[in-house]
Amino acid sequence: MGRKVKLVKLGEICEFQVGLLVPSNMQSKDNLQEELLPFLKIGNLQEANITTDKLSWINPKDFSIKDSHFLYPDEIIVAKSGANSGKIAINQTNQKIIFYSGCAKLCLKARGVDKKYLFHALLTKQEEIYTNRTTGAQPNLVPTKFMKLKIPLPPLKQQEKIAKWLETFSSLERQLERQLERHKTQYRYYLNRLMRGGRLTELKEIIKEAFSGTLITKSQITTEGIPCIRYGEIYTTYNICCEAPISHIALDNEKEYRYCEKNDLLITKIGESISEIAKPLAYIGEKLVAIDSNTTLLKHNQNAKYLAYALSTDNIKKQKQHVCNISPITISVNLKQISKLKIPLPSLEKQEKIANWLDRFRELTENISKGLPREILLLKQQSRYYREKLIN
């Protein structure tokens, strides 16, 4: 029979250090002048790791930044506030990043503790951490409760052995994720390459009709009713095209809804970054779908998916910087400005070939039922299983 492993409170072995307070109006979504520093927020804590593709940016001259405000490689971070409070992640990158005061990092203060083991031990307690948050519209992590959390702490050599074994899974995950990132980079390369050359055409030359949708609020969203596409979903949920919307609204007889139909192109009118503004979405479904007031609908005689790809290039991002209305909080664009965007416009036959080719390439990076996304998903499930077995 094995020896019983002692349980220790988190507060006995580490300290809770809060990040830098940065008001939202002093955060930027883009580092256009390349003078800003990356800023880590709660939304960057994903799948127990740090995502750096959607970091915010801050001007270091505006703040008194301490060393404790940086999250160093292999340091553990936890979200303190909001819907994701209690979420655990580790900085698996090779860079130090300033992090938000809505998060805290855990710094070891006791000997005999392996940092990677502590990280995996905390992941086995993730659901317990969530249940100990404050309740209400805005759940929050209570530091005093969190630091009383007990974890099993075997001898250091055993911790290192467990951590090393589990890191094998993590290493494989990272290898597959790097490979997936390479595929995404290749996809971006070919997207930009295929949209080069030829005469550029302003959108106003191909628009047959254009209008905005009807005001749709979050409170109107239901599980049944009229299918609808909200502007925020265009840059958070969908990518290039949508066949079956995820949202519905209850019918309101007092409202006159605006609908999109197959082959229509939707464009977002507002957002917080250049990437979110004028984000295109080709609707390829058969049913009529309601659209909201922050979306512009364009009717045309082109291939909608081709147009969505053509409006997703790096060249279009540069064009948007010159035509959009940019403020510290939001960025907006109107139909007149959208109409000025220029894209290459080959024949319909060539548009379809390009769109189909890019569809196949994009699927390699997104479809979780096959390929690399599927392998990564299965590996994460295995990792979770063995983590529970080894630590608990």
Residue 236: the pLDDT is 86
pLDDT at residue 201 greater than cutoff 90: yes
Of 54 and 370, more confident: 54
The span from the first CA to the last CA of the chain, in angstroms, equals 15
In 3D space, the residue among 166, 152, 154 whose CA is nearest the CA of residue 392 turns out to be 152
pLDDT at residue 262 greater than cutoff 90: yes
Each residue's pLDDT tens digit, 6-28: 899 999 999 999 999 999 889 98
Residue 31: the pLDDT is 82
- Least confident residue range of 160-164, 167-171, 186-190, 209-213: 167-171
Instruction: Count CB-CB contacts under 10 A for residue 80.
Output: 24
Give φ, ψ of 329 to 5 degrees: -105, -50
Residues 326, 228: Cα–Cα separation, whole Å = 28
Residue 366: the pLDDT is 80
Each residue's pLDDT tens digit, 30-53: 887 778 999 999 999 988 889 887
Query: E-assigned strands of 75-217?
Result: 76-79, 88-90, 97-99, 103-108, 150-152, 200-202, 209-212
- Least confident residue range of 109-118, 144-153, 347-356, 360-369: 360-369
Residues 370, 107: Cα–Cα separation, whole Å = 39
pLDDT at residue 348 greater than cutoff 90: yes
82-91 average pLDDT score:
92
In 3D space, the residue among 150, 135, 130, 39 whose CA is nearest the CA of residue 78 turns out to be 130
**What's the pLDDT band for 217 if we cut at 50, 70, 90?**
confident
Residue 267: the pLDDT is 96
Average pLDDT, the chain: 90
Residue 76: the pLDDT is 97
Task: Output the CA–CA distances (angstroms, integers) from residue 174 to 48, 99, 154, 364, 371, in the order listed.
Answer: 12, 22, 27, 17, 15
Percent of the chain whose predicted confidence (pLDDT) is above 70: 98
371-384 average pLDDT score:
85
**What's the pLDDT band for 223 if we cut at 50, 70, 90?**
confident
pLDDT at residue 354 greater than cutoff 90: yes
309 within 8 A of 285, measured Cβ to Cβ:
no
Residue 328: the pLDDT is 65
Residue 276: the pLDDT is 79
Each residue's pLDDT tens digit, 138-179: 889 999 999 999 999 999 999 999 999 998 988 888 888 888
**What's the pLDDT band for 54 if we cut at 50, 70, 90?**
confident
Residue 382: the pLDDT is 87
- Least confident residue range of 276-280, 343-347, 368-372: 368-372
**What's the pLDDT band for 1 if we cut at 50, 70, 90?**
very low
57 within 8 A of 69, measured Cβ to Cβ:
no
Residue 2: the pLDDT is 54
228 within 8 A of 249, measured Cβ to Cβ:
yes
Each residue's pLDDT tens digit, 97-148: 999 999 999 999 988 999 999 999 999 999 999 988 988 778 899 999 999 9
